[in-house]
Amino acid sequence: MTKEKTEQEAYLQLAALCAQAEHCEQEMRDKMKRWGMTPQTQDNVVSRLVKERYIDNERFARAFVKDKVRYNKWGRRKVQQALWMKRIDDDIQQRVLDEIDDKEYLDVLVPLLKQKRKSVKANSDYELNQKLVRFALSRGFDYGVIRQCLDVEEDMDFDDETD
């Protein structure tokens, strides 16, 4: 049987973890719960980590959003759902999601759709577009943004007039 960690041991281990990468409060609580620590001990450790700025949910959310959009090619909705699951406050979620640069967001979606278009089998343009829309929706992109990207892709001549 494993020896239960003391509050100080948990603090030191989690502080070392937070020093290596961004983590949110919920991740630390989950870890301590797996270690069998009481809710009171969890609160003590988390409040100390927050006070000493090892944990900052807003800083975590910014890094998380940037990584998920840039590297995992997720849309706002999927990112927002992931933040919700990590119990990040709604006001922090909104602030951080609003900071996503629209140009960068489109720069993620357009190549994603182009790549997918090459591998999708469809009998008509309509069917192809439906499959691309479903794919992009599953990645968490909004319908309006998807339509905008598909329209631009289909008809590059109109690009000049839409500006």
DSSP state letters, 121-154: --SSHHHHHHHHHHHHHHTT--HHHHHHHHHHHH
pTM, 2 dp: 0.84
Which band of pLDDT confidence, cut at 50, 70 and 90, is reported for residue 126? very high
- Is 84 a residue whose pLDDT tops 70? yes
Q: How far apart are CA 12 and CA 120, in angstroms?
A: 50
3 state DSSP class of 95: helix
Which band of pLDDT confidence, cut at 50, 70 and 90, is reported for residue 161? very low
What pLDDT does residue 151 have?
79
Q: How far apart are CA 2 and CA 14, in angstroms?
A: 18
Supply the mean pLDDT for the chain. 90
Rg of the chain taking only CA atoms, in angstroms: 21
CB-based contact 100:69 (threshold 8 Å): yes
3 state DSSP class of 61: helix
- 1 C-beta neighbours (distance < 10 Å), count: 3
